[in-house]
Amino acid sequence: MSSIFYKVIFEGAKEDSSDSYSLTFKDIFSDNPIQIPSRFFTTLRVSNQKESNIVHFQNIKEVIKIGNPSIKIEINYYIAILYTNLNDGKKEGFLVGNIKNMGDILIGEWPYNEKNVSNSKDIYLQKLELLTNSSKFDNICVIYPLK
């Protein structure tokens, strides 16, 4: 089984010499997909009005899937969630894909290493739940596709 990666390309700032930036997320989609609760993004939007450490913006220019997936899925759009963990100061992130008839599914994580491979569905759901309680995280960015 080969590894799948998602290269997310973000639009660069007009004042910047580079026209784009990218992050590469490791695929975590499995036979038992991790569905994002429907209230998750709404809760983050409401928290954004109360907290100054949550930012929402549109900046995903393109997502390139790298590798040979064993399961062919069609993703309608992607959402990247980036944040800083206050416990250790590490920057982390998730990639969410919207799949027809399934909704928003957690499909990737950043950064990735061999330790992350053993993470369970419960660990990912716990992190997502903690994101809605932003006292554990800082610099939360929810990045949507460009229109």
pLDDT of residue 65: 92
pLDDT of residue 135: 74
Q: For the whole prediction, is pTM greater than 0.85?
A: yes
Strand partners, 6: 25, 65
Task: Evaluate whether 112 touches 26 at the Cβ level (below 8 Å).
Answer: yes
Report long-range pairs for 72-76 (Cβ below 8 Å, ≥24 apart).
73/29, 73/97, 73/99, 74/99, 74/100, 75/99, 75/107, 76/100
pLDDT of residue 1: 43
pLDDT of residue 136: 78
Mean pLDDT by 10 residues, the chain (147 residues): 83 72 89 86 78 85 88 90 90 94 93 67 83 80 92
